[in-house]
Amino acid sequence: MVRVPRIPWTWTVVGGICVWLVAICCFLVTEQGPEAFGAPDPAVLRTDAARAVHRQDPAAFQRLFAPGTAGSGYAEHYFTELFAVPATRLRLDLETYDDLRFLVLRGRPADGGALCDAWSVQDSGGRSVLSAVPAVTDPCAAGS
């Protein structure tokens, strides 16, 4: 008669916990959760930025910046200044200027004039991110 070895239930439980921990670790390493910075590509970055500006959501806008390029309160302060005077026709476009890619926000403030702000678009770990560090060239200053 062939005897089948028995595995104590404690080893079964320990094995199950190990498998569960490995699965959770793999999920955390590969998952780009809602707190991930930037966007998968520049087009999605532009869409996410437009949504954040339209909803006046500084937290969503802040997540689009590369770590270390904008302080923790950058977006909150920027939105406070941006919406201090009502603006119309706000639009965000991806533009290339002097071989650099920018996300450019343009609009018309209620008090007249023109509104233009630009952030350079960079690649960080395979994701497109904004940088609050001023670029050498500025599409707004060039009047493009």
Where in the chain does DSSP place strands (E)?
87-97, 100-109, 115-124, 127-131
pLDDT of residue 46: 96
pLDDT at residue 31 in the model: 52
Give the pLDDT of residue 47: 96
**Res 26: pLDDT:** 66
Residue ranges per structural domain of the chain:
42-131
Query: 42-131, which class in CATH?
Result: alpha beta
Q: What is the mean pLDDT of each run of 10 residues along the chain (144 residues)?
A: 73 75 70 70 96 95 93 93 88 92 92 90 93 87 64
| Whole-Å CA distances, 28 to 58, 96, 140 | 26, 35, 40
Check residue 135 and give its pLDDT: 82
Strands 100-109 and 115-124: antiparallel
pLDDT at 35: 58
